[in-house]
A and B are shown apart, each in its own frame.
Chain A
C-alpha cells in the first residue's frame, strides 16, 4: 500500500495538444479517489500515466515516496482493472488470476492458496476451471478484479470497470467494489464518467475538465459547494438548474420570481449585472404540499408545467423558461461539454410523488432559497461558495475514512492472520 502524489503532471501528444495539463493531486494511503469528467477530459490518460502505460511529458509521479516516471509498468507493482477486463482467453479463470503470481515466480502451493483466497472473496470458486469465454459479464468482471487483488499491489487502478455491465449488475458490482476496498484498505484510483459511481464510491472525487482539475473534494462538498458552473452541472442527477437572473441590491429577479439573498451572499454577488442562479431540483416543491412553518424560507411562484415524470418514490416536473440569448448559448455549450444535449431551456424540479400537479397546467411551486448558488456567467465561478463549509464537509469525510481504514486494518489482522504471515514473507 502506498500514497500516490502527482506534481504538475503534463501529457502532450505528438500534435502538442495537452490531454492532461499541469495536474497536481495527492492521494493518501488507503484512500479511494475518483477521477471523473466527461469524455475526453483526460481522466483515463491520467490513470494510464499512474500505471505506466502512457509516458509522462513533464512533472513527477511519486508512488510510495519514490519517483516512478521512468519505471516500466511491471516495476510499479500496481494492479489495474481494464474497461473491457482484458482477460486472457486462452487461460482458465484460475490461471488468469494466478498470472501475476506466476510471473513473480511464486511457488505453486502459495499460488494455489492465494488464488483460492481471491476466489473466495469474489465467489468465483465454481468457475475456476472455466474459460473466460464461457462466463457472463459480471463474472468476467469479477475475474478481472481477482487478478488485481491476488497479489499485494501498492494500489488498485480501475478504468471504467462497470461501464460494460447492465444497470442492475452495475449497482451490485459498485457495492462489491466499495466493500472490497474498505476491507482491504488499499489505495484506489477509479476512473468513471458516471457521477453515481463517483458520488457513492469515492472518499474524494477529482473533477476534470479538458485536462485540468476543477475541484477535488468529498462528494458532499462537490454537491453542496461546487466551485464553478461545470462542477455544479456535472455532479447531481438530474442536474442543477441554471436560471438567468438580474440583481438589484439583495434581490435576484429570475424567470421564477424573485429571490432574496442574505447579506453575505448579496455582498458576494454585488457588481454583476447578469447572473446565473444554480438551483438543485430538490430545492423545489409543490407549494400546496409545503409546511406553513417552512414556507417563509423560500418563495412561491406560478409556472406552466410542460411534462411530469412519476417514478413512484419521486416525481419530476419540467418547466420551460425564457433566457436571454447570451445565457442560452452558454447553457447549451455547457450541456454539450457535459456530454448531454439540452435543447431547450427548462428547469427540472423534483416534487413529492403524491403531488397532483398535471402537465400543461399552471401550478404553484415553492422554492427553498437557502441553498441556492449564484454563478458569474462569464467566468463560471461560483460567487456564493462557502469554502469553509465545504472544507468542513471534506474533513468529516476524511475522518470517516480514517476510522474505516483503522477498523479494516483491525478486522483484517484478526480475520486473515494466516495470510498476514504470507504477506510478510512477500515483502521480505
Chain B
C-alpha cells in the first residue's frame, strides 16, 4: 500500500468512526447535563453533573429503571440461550442431513425473520391476556425466540457448512457415535459460530421495543427499552431527556462489553489446520 493510499484509508476511517460515534458521544454528554443545560446547544455540559444517573439508579426513576434492567437481562439471556441451543440442532440438521422440506424450513425461517412485528402484536396481546402470559417473562421470551431463531439458524448453518464433513466421518471411524462426534468435534469447531450467533440473538432481543411495550404493563416483566419510553420529568413541563440519556448509556455498556469479550473468539480461525491448505 502506498503512503497516499494509506493516508486516504486513515482519513476515510476517521470520518466513518466520527460519523458513527458522534450520536453516542452526544448521548453521553447529554447524560451529564443538568436539566437547565439540556437545550443550550453546546456539546459539552456547562456544569458536569451525575444527577441523571442518581435519578435512575436510586432516585425517583429507579423503581422504573432497575426492575426493567433486571427483566431485560433475564429475558434476553434466557431467549439467547434457548435460541442458540435450538438453532444449533436445527442448523446441524440443515447443514448435514438430507431430508425433505429442508428448503422449506430455511425459507420459512427467512419469511418469519422479515415478517413485520407490528402486525402480530395486537393478536398476540389478546392471546397472551387470555392464556395468562401477559406481563410475564415467558410472555416476552416466546416472541423474542421468533425474532432470534430464524437469524440464528441462518448464521449457524453457514458456520456448520464450513466444517469439513470429513471431520465427523473421521470421528465416526475412530469409534464415535453420532452424538459423540457432534459434541466432541463439531461443537468445539463451531464455537466461534455459536458465539457470533449468541451475540446477534442477544442484540435483537435487547433492542426490541414493540413487544416490550405492548405485552407488559408492570415492572414484573417490562424491559429497558419500554421503560425508557415511560420516563417522565420531575414536573409535566420538564423533559426527561437527561434521565433517558443516562439510561441509554447504561444499557449500552453490557452490549459493548459482550462484543469486546467475545471478539477474539469470533475472529479466531474456524477450522484452521483441520485440512490441508
Residues of A within 8 A of B (CB): 51-53, 72-74, 77-80, 82-90, 99-100, 103-104, 131-135, 137, 140, 147, 151, 164
In contact, A84 and B171 (Cβ under 8 angstroms): no
Question: What residues of B have a CB within 8 angstroms of the CB of A78 in the complex?
Answer: 173
Question: What residues of B have a CB within 8 angstroms of the CB of A134 in the complex?
Answer: 273
Question: Known contacts A90-B189, A103-B175: does B170 contact A140 (CB below 8 Å)?
Answer: no
Main DSSP-derived SS at the A contact region: loop
14 additional contacts (CB under 8 A) given A86-B166, A89-B271, A100-B175: A53-B172, A73-B172, A74-B174, A74-B175, A79-B174, A80-B173, A88-B274, A89-B272, A99-B184, A100-B174, A133-B272, A147-B170, A151-B175, A164-B276
Question: What residues of A have a CB within 8 angstroms of the CB of B185 in the complex?
Answer: 88
Give the distance in Å from the alpha carbon of A78 to the alpha carbon of B173 in the complex.
7
Give the distance in Å from the alpha carbon of A99 to the alpha carbon of B176 in the complex.
9
Question: Known contacts A100-B174, A131-B273: does B189 contact A86 (CB below 8 Å)?
Answer: no
Across the interface, name the chain B residue whose C-beta is closest to A76: B173
Across the interface, name the chain B residue whose C-beta is closest to A83: B166
Question: What residues of A have a CB within 8 angstroms of the CB of B171 in the complex?
Answer: 88, 99
Residues of B within 8 A of A (CB): 164, 166-167, 169-177, 180, 184-185, 188-189, 269, 271-277
Across the interface, name the chain A residue whose C-beta is closest to B163: A89
Across the interface, name the chain B residue whose C-beta is closest to A74: B175
A35 nearest CB across to chain B (Å): 17
Question: What residues of B have a CB within 8 angstroms of the CB of A80 in the complex?
Answer: 170, 173
Question: What residues of A have a CB within 8 angstroms of the CB of B170 in the complex?
Answer: 80, 82, 86, 88, 147
Across the interface, name the chain A residue whose C-beta is closest to B276: A164
Question: What residues of B have a CB within 8 angstroms of the CB of A89 in the complex?
Answer: 189, 271-274
Q: List 20 A-B contacts (CB under 8 A).
A: A53-B172, A53-B173, A74-B173, A74-B176, A77-B175, A78-B173, A79-B174, A83-B166, A84-B164, A85-B276, A87-B273, A88-B189, A88-B274, A89-B189, A99-B184, A103-B175, A103-B176, A104-B175, A131-B273, A147-B174
In contact, A82 and B166 (Cβ under 8 angstroms): yes
In contact, B276 and A51 (Cβ under 8 angstroms): no
Across the interface, name the chain A residue whose C-beta is closest to B271: A89
Question: What residues of A have a CB within 8 angstroms of the CB of B277 in the complex?
Answer: 84
Question: What residues of A have a CB within 8 angstroms of the CB of B167 in the complex?
Answer: 86, 88
Across the interface, name the chain B residue whose C-beta is closest to A140: B276
